[in-house]
A and B are shown apart, each in its own frame.
Chain A
Amino acid sequence: MNEEQKKTYLEEYKQEKEQGVKFYPDIIYKDLLVSFAIFLLLLGLAIFVGVPAEPPVDPGDSTYIPRPEWYFLFLFQMLKYFPGQIEWVGTVIIPTIAVLALLLLPFYDRSPFRHWKMRKVAAVIMSVVVIGIVGLTILAAVATPPQEETALATTITDKIVLGQDVYSIHCVECHGAEGEGGEIIGVEGLEGVFVKAISSQDEMYTRSDDTFFAIIDYGQPDLGMPPSGLGYGGELLRGEIDAIVTFMRYTWDDRVEIPEEAAQAGAIPALGPDEIPSFEVHVGPIVKRYCVSCHRPGKKNNNYLMRSFQETMETGDNAPNVIPGDLNSNNILMLHRQEIEAGGPMPPTRALKPELIEIFERWVLGGAPETAEEAAALSPTAVPTAPEATETSVSP
Chain B
Amino acid sequence: MTARVVSWLDERLGLISIYSLVFDRKVPKVNWWFTLGSASLFLFIMQGVTGVFLSVYYVPDPSKAYDSIQYIMTGVTFGWLIRGIHHWGASLMVIFVFIHMLRTFFMGAYKFPRELTWLTGVILLLATLGMGFTGYLLPWNQRAYWATTVGTAIAGTVPVIGDFILRVLRGGNDLSAVTLARFFSVHIWFLPVVILGLISVHMYLIIRLGISSVPKEEEG
Contacts and interface: CB of A to CB of B under 8 A. Distances in A.
Contacts of B42: 31, 34-35, 38-39
Interface string B37-69: 011001100100000000000000010001000
Contacts of B43: 38
B132 A71 contact: yes
Contacts of B81: 43, 46-47
B208 interface: no
B157 to A, nearest CB: 5
Interface in A60-102: 61, 64-72, 75-76, 79, 87-88, 91-92, 99, 102
Interface of A: 1, 5-6, 9-10, 12-13, 16-24, 26-28, 30-31, 33-35, 38-39, 41-43, 45-47, 49-51, 54-59, 61, 64-72, 75-76, 79, 87-88, 91-92, 99, 102-103, 105-107, 109, 112-119, 122-123, 126, 130
A54 B139 CA distance: 9
A214 B94 CA distance: 39
B171 to A, nearest CB: 15
Contact of B29 (A20, A24, A28, A114): A20
A30 B157 contact: no
Interface residues of B, number: 85
Interface stretch (B1-9, B10-18, B144-152, B189-197): B144-152
28 contacts: A1-B112, A16-B29, A20-B26, A22-B25, A22-B26, A23-B25, A27-B211, A34-B38, A35-B38, A35-B39, A43-B81, A45-B84, A54-B143, A58-B142, A59-B145, A68-B151, A70-B91, A71-B129, A72-B129, A88-B157, A91-B154, A92-B159, A103-B123, A106-B114, A106-B115, A116-B106, A122-B105, A126-B102
Interface of B: 22-30, 32, 34-35, 38-39, 42-43, 46, 62, 66, 73, 80-81, 83-85, 87-92, 94-96, 101-102, 105-115, 118-119, 122-123, 125-126, 129, 132-133, 136, 139-147, 149-151, 154-155, 157-159, 162, 174-175, 210-211, 213, 215-217, 219-220
A44 to B, nearest CB: 9
A27 B30 contact: yes
Contact of B112 (A9, A17, A92, A99): A9
B61 to A, nearest CB: 12
CB-based closest 4 A-B pairs: A46-B84, A114-B108, A54-B141, A114-B215
Which one of B90, B139, B145 has the greatest number of beta carbons of chain A within 10 Å?
B145
Given A21-B26, A27-B211, A46-B83, 18 more contacts: A6-B113, A10-B113, A12-B219, A21-B29, A31-B38, A38-B42, A41-B92, A45-B88, A54-B139, A66-B149, A71-B129, A92-B157, A106-B110, A106-B111, A106-B119, A112-B111, A114-B111, A114-B220
B66 A79 contact: no
A54 B133 contact: no
Nearest to B98: A71
Contacts of A67: 143, 146-147
A43 B102 CA distance: 26
Contacts of A57: 62, 66, 140-142, 144-145
A106 B121 CA distance: 12
